[in-house]
Amino acid sequence: MQNPADNQQALHSGPVVAASLSLLLAFSTLMISHHISRLSRELDNIVHAYGHWIPGSTGSGPDGSIGSYSGKETLALMVWLGSWLIFHFLWRKQDLSLQAWTRFFVVSLAVITLGFFHPLSDPIVLFVAGLFGIH
């Protein structure tokens, strides 16, 4: 008689890390595209161009227009899905340290969240924009 434990597949932690890392990258993309779109009208139009396909991205109906937010969400969605597919494929059979990853994930999530607060992030954004000659 065969032991049922012999038929179980080994579970790996790589897919968990892949899924959560893709979320961090998507949140970062949302934050960065938000700050980029605030630097100039031209950059706002570039970001908005990615989301013109979303209903409500342009228009003047009773709810108005969501504007460049549609582009920010589209960019974040592309990064999320793309990075998840790539990392899942690369790490699907790998065992990574979930204890170390959890610490990194929580700290990164806190840093990204703080990046959305303009009093903290605007000096950094304006400094980096100045390095690239964007005013």
Written as one string, the DSSP assignment of 32-65 is HHHHHHTT-HHHHHHHHHTTTTSTTSS--STT--
Give domain limits for the chain.
Answer: 12-131
Tokens for 52? 């013109």
Q: Which amino acid is at 116?
A: F
- Indicate if the pLDDT at residue 90 is higher than 60: yes
The pLDDT value given to residue 22: 98
**How many degrees, rounded to 5, is the angle at CA 83 between CA 82 and CA 85?**
70
Tokens for 124? 């950094």
Question: How does the average pLDDT of the chain come out, rounded?
Answer: 90
The pLDDT value given to residue 60: 66
Residue 90, CA atoms < 13 Å, CB-side half-sphere: 12
Tokens for 41? 């009208």
The pLDDT value given to residue 63: 64
Rounded to the nearest angstrom, the gap between the alpha carbon of residue 70 and the centroid of all alpha carbons in its chain is 14
Residues 76-94: what's their mean pLDDT? 96
Among 49-58, 77-86, 87-96, 101-110, which stretch is predicted with the lowest mean pLDDT? 49-58
